[in-house]
Structure 1
Amino acid sequence: MLNIEKYGAIDIGSNAIRLLIVSVIERKEQPTLFKKTSLVRVPIRLGAEVFLDGKISEASAHRMVDAIQAFKLLMKTHNIKRFKACATSAMREASNGPQIAKSIKEQSGIAINIIDGKDEAKIIASTDLKNLIQADKVFLYVDVGGGSTELTVFANGENISSQSFKLGTVRLLEGLVDENVWTDMETWIKRETKDFRKISLIGSGGNINTIFKKSGKKLGKPLSYFYLSSYYELIKSLSYEERITELDMNPDRADVVIPATRIYLSAMKWSKAKNVFVPKIGLSDGIVRSLYNEKVAAHTQIKD
């Protein structure tokens, strides 16, 4: 007998706002399945104005309200049982972020949780990511967003260390990243990985997912440093328009993909990683998994 419920996760990022709907399938005496049912992505680039002006514009705030209200209707139509909305660096750094979150709650009834980099990394780590972390291997997990990059070193099956850097694709496009940030990230990666002989990367984020999809690789197979560096040279050689028409990229992906690839390549170089695994997970997946874990914990407490 299966127990099937749908969960919703809203991710308000620096480059886009997403709604992920997942069917959570509970099976008797077998692992629970998480099947992605729908993903809606609205390209509201909050980071472009927040990182420049320190706040979200009135026009973007209106678009956010419209998007969240649309997401609410979609979740109602899908008969969502549990949901949560989280916002990352753009909302976190916007001087009017809390005010806009309050406005969204008043107009849509949906509460926005503005989380920090460590919480973001923790939520993502609750996903199927742990199934990749074999006890006998070392991984550097790299999540590249529009406003920040989250890094975590896994060794012996455990989280050894983690750090968030204000090094994101939208910041780089706007020329808002000081060279010292690159230096700090290089120093951190080299220091935290120097005691390990062989390291692989785990990459997450919309850009690495796009690159992986276009590679034609099967899920579970890694991209090599050589492949990623060759792809980097290719996209740099093409104009913005050519990346849209010749590589079939979305307009809001065709510009950020270059700085994102640079970040992944830098992380591979500094950690001496030769391969990057792309499990196609992100904050939205982590939100769903954390909601399910909360449900299980609550039921366990009731039984106790």
Structure 2
Amino acid sequence: MTMMEGMNFAAIDIGTNAARLLIKNIDHNPLGETKFRKVLFIRYPLRLGMDVFSKGKIGKERAEMMMRMIKGFKQMMRMYDVVDYRACATSAMRDAKNGKALIKKIEKKTGIRIDLIEGKEEAGILYGNHIEKLPNKEGTFMYVDVGGGSTEITLIHQGRLVGSMSYNIGTIRLLNRAVKDGIVDGLKADMAGMYANYGPINIIGSGGNINKLFRLAEEKSKKELKLPITSLRSLHNDLQPLSVEERMDRFGLKPDRADVIVPAAEIFLIIADCIHSDYVYVPTIGLADGIIGELYAKATQDEKERLSRSRFYLNAEAQGLLNAETVESNE
């Protein structure tokens, strides 16, 4: 079996509000077609931001939860014969005073390495995951991923990456009143500048909240995966005055979604108003998908290089250019 025949890859995304394990099977058939199939998806409401944005660090109880979670994720990866994985932690772990120490402890106890990635790398992974899925590469799009601790923004013009930005404004930060002065004004100023340069920009939305808002909205295009800004604003106005319990009862939301969904909608609306968006395109894929895409791209390149080396040695041997000792020493 070659690497391309039905291998399982995994991504662990440790966000500010929740952590996710995604396992996908990737099959590259002889016709040159590559198929991605979701095998397993687990979302765990770790809520690191509740500790980090109030205490500055991850508390003992939540650290133990995280350790147990990673051990569980490791077992699932074993069960599904995962050939390669990457675990990434984002905003809350970046800001936690004990974030790096906890990551080292988890790796020592479990063998799972967690990469602490910066906002720009996160935005870059997300961009790479979505560029081929744009509904139309003509014009200007803004990829917006609203997380618990930060909002990642990537500007795409005529199918090309213009720039990536990360802002420390997220749903858990807003709930904990932990957004520093000037952050929102800076975001608005940057968005207004982009509108001045490119004209109206439509949004590609990412994150669990925009996916849920899309499902809840009455006015939307299921076929084109478009959520009109007017519909998003109407839904926000319905949700905003309700208590968390009322949102759970009326809209069927889980507790860890019911509190963050309103600040998420507010962030999307702030951006949409500044860049004059008509809609949010919601393809329902995120950071974990992007991580797996990168793992597959690396594996594909490694396989091509291996095959290239194999062909070189075979051709060289056939032509008498290499003896067995040379081949053996190079391998």
- Scaled by the length of structure 2, the TM-score of the pair is 0.88
Spell out, residue by residue over 1:188-211, the C-alpha distance to the aligned partner (whole angstroms, 9 max, x if none): 111123122332110001100111
Name the residue aligned to 1:272. 276
**Matched ranges for 1:157-172 at <5 A:** 157-172=159-174
Shift of 1:242: 1.1
Sequence identity percentage: 38
Q: C-alpha separation between the residues in 2 aligned to 1:27 and 1:246?
A: 46
Q: C-alpha separation between the residues in 2 aligned to 1:117 and 1:267?
A: 18
Name which of structure 1's ranges 169-178 and 120-129 shifts more when overlaid on structure 2.
120-129
Q: C-alpha separation between the residues in 1 aligned to 2:215 and 2:260?
A: 16
Q: Is the 8 A contact 1:129 1:279 kept in 2?
A: no
Q: C-alpha separation between the residues in 2 aligned to 1:63 and 1:198?
A: 44
User: Greater Rg, structure 1 or structure 2?
Assistant: 2
Name the residue aligned to 1:252. 256
Structure 2 spans left out of the alignment, 5+ residues: 309-331
Spell out, residue by residue over 1:86-119, the C-alpha distance to the aligned partner (whole angstroms, 9 max, x if none): 0001111111111111111111110000000011
2:143 is aligned with what amino acid?
Answer: Y
Distance 1:86 1:219, change over 3 A: farther
1:243 is aligned with what amino acid?
Answer: R
Secondary structure of the corresponding residue to residue 253 of structure 1: helix
Name the residue aligned to 1:135. 137
Q: C-alpha separation between the residues in 2 aligned to 1:300 and 1:30?
A: 14
Q: C-alpha separation between the residues in 2 aligned to 1:237 and 1:99?
A: 40
Q: C-alpha separation between the residues in 1 aligned to 2:197 and 2:33?
A: 35
Name the residue aligned to 1:189. 191
Name the residue aligned to 2:31. 29
Q: C-alpha separation between the residues in 1 aligned to 2:187 and 2:145?
A: 13
Name the residue aligned to 2:93. 91
Q: Is the 8 A contact 2:156 2:163 kept in 1?
A: yes
The two structures, once aligned, show a CA RMSD in angstroms of: 1.6
Shift of 1:31: 3.2
Number of positions where the alignment pairs a residue of Structure 1 with one of Structure 2? 304
Q: C-alpha separation between the residues in 2 aligned to 1:259 and 1:31?
A: 41
Q: C-alpha separation between the residues in 1 aligned to 2:32 and 2:214?
A: 30
**Matched ranges for 1:83-122 at <5 A:** 83-122=85-124
**Matched ranges for 1:234-253 at <5 A:** 234-253=238-257
Shift of 1:179: 4.2
Q: 1:155 aligns with which of 136, 145, 157?
A: 157
Secondary structure of the corresponding residue to residue 194 of structure 1: helix
Q: Is the 8 A contact 1:219 1:279 kept in 2?
A: no
Q: C-alpha separation between the residues in 2 aligned to 1:22 and 1:214?
A: 27
Name the residue aligned to 1:227. 231
Structure 1 spans left out of the alignment, 5+ residues: none
Name the residue aligned to 2:215. 213
Spell out, residue by residue over 1:245-295, the C-alpha distance to the aligned partner (whole angstroms, 9 max, x if none): 110011000000000000001111000011110011111001110100110
2:299 is aligned with what amino acid?
Answer: K
Q: Is the 8 A contact 1:10 1:85 kept in 2?
A: yes
Spell out, residue by residue over 1:22-46, the C-alpha distance to the aligned partner (whole angstroms, 9 max, x if none): 1112122333111112211111110
Spell out, residue by residue over 1:222-263, the C-alpha distance to the aligned partner (whole angstroms, 9 max, x if none): 110110000000101322101111100110000000000000
Name the residue aligned to 2:291. 287
Q: C-alpha separation between the residues in 2 aligned to 1:195 and 1:253?
A: 36
Spell out, residue by residue over 1:170-219, the C-alpha distance to the aligned partner (whole angstroms, 9 max, x if none): 00000111341110001111112312233211000110011112237425
Q: C-alpha separation between the residues in 2 aligned to 1:98 and 1:237?
A: 39
Q: Is the 8 A contact 1:133 1:139 kept in 2?
A: no
Name which of structure 1's ranges 251-260 and 189-198 shifts more when overlaid on structure 2.
189-198
Q: Is the 8 A contact 2:127 2:154 kept in 1?
A: no
